[in-house]
């Protein structure tokens, strides 16, 4: 008799195959993270799309790099094989040196992006702490709860609307982790432009 766990596995495999077929139909070698999440949502549900995207990434069907999702992992593997010289190849292969330089630049960009996002999060924490202290003072010393109640209501409503707009624009689950990943991808993209770092510079290796 088929267990519930086996049924769940079969459903997950079916959803993954649906997403695979849709990704194979895309002629481009990469898509944006939001477009990838939209495809996952269409194949499953709003609650299950994050889990489905994670399974596709971990199984090697796609490769998620910040705000870019690579749809041809086999080409990436071929690029790495070409970039890493064989034992008999010259240790001075210029492609190998270029790959190392790209890795160093990427590591610097990622660290800077994380630092910028953490700075934003600390500023947000300070803002909310100051707002809470201000509301407490206004409620118990300056004004009264009768005055502050509608103010607190409208403040809470504005945060809800801001969260809803965030979801509508990014198609990303509204959570601290989702906000961090989205801001990290944005900062990473900005820094790549500032440093003139082009991830597609590995493209010639993919087809060599």
pLDDT, tens digit, 9 for 90 and up, residues 26-85: 777 778 888 878 877 777 776 677 777 778 777 777 777 777 887 777 776 666 666 555
38 & 104 share domain? no
Q: Using CA atoms, how far apart are residues 56 and 64, in angstroms rounded to an integer?
A: 9
Interval 77-91: pLDDT, tens: 666 666 555 454 445
For residue 85, is it within any domain? no
63 & 98 share domain? no
For residue 199, is it within any domain? yes
Q: Using CA atoms, how far apart are residues 198 and 208, in angstroms rounded to an integer?
A: 18
Range of the domain at 176: 94-206
Q: Using CA atoms, how far apart are residues 139 and 137, in angstroms rounded to an integer?
A: 5
For residue 160, is it within any domain? yes
64 & 98 share domain? no
127 & 65 share domain? no
106 & 169 share domain? yes
For residue 79, is it within any domain? no
* Distance between start and end Cα atoms, the chain: 51
- What CATH code is carried by the domain that includes residue 54? 1.10.10
Mean pLDDT over the full length of the chain:
77
Q: Using CA atoms, how far apart are residues 23 and 53, in angstroms rounded to an integer?
A: 12
Beta bridge partners of 111: none
For residue 87, is it within any domain? no
Count how many domains the chain has: 2
112 & 56 share domain? no
Interval 167-196: pLDDT, tens: 888 777 777 887 888 888 888 888 888 877
pTM above 0.85, yes or no: no
121 & 202 share domain? yes
Enter the tokens of residue 169: 């624009």
60 & 110 share domain? no
Interval 100-131: pLDDT, tens: 777 788 888 888 889 999 998 899 899 989 99
142 & 176 share domain? yes
């Amino acid at each position: 008799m088929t267990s519930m766990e086996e049924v769940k596995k079969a459903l997950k495999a079916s959803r993954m195959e649906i997403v695979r077929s849709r990704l194979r139909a895309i002629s481009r070698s990469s898509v944006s993270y939001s477009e990838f999440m939209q495809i996952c949502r269409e194949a499953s549900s709003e609650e299950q799309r994050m889990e489905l995207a994670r399974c596709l990434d971990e199984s090697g069907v796609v490769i998620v790099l910040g705000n870019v999702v690579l749809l041809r992992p086999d080409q990436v593997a071929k690029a790495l094989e070409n970039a890493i010289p064989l034992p008999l190849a010259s240790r001075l292969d210029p492609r190998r040196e270029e790959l190392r330089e790209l890795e160093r630049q990427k590591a610097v960009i990622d660290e800077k992006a994380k630092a910028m996002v953490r700075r934003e999060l600390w500023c947000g924490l300070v803002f909310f702490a100051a707002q809470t202290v201000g509301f407490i003072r206004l409620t118990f010393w300056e004004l009264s709860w009768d005055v502050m109640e509608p103010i607190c209501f409208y403040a809470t409503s504005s945060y809800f609307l801001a969260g809803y707009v965030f979801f509508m624009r990014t198609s990303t689950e509204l959570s601290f982790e989702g906000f961090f990943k989205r801001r990290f991808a944005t900062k990473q993209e900005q820094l790549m432009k500032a440093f003139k770092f082009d991830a597609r510079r590995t493209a010639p290796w993919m087809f060599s």
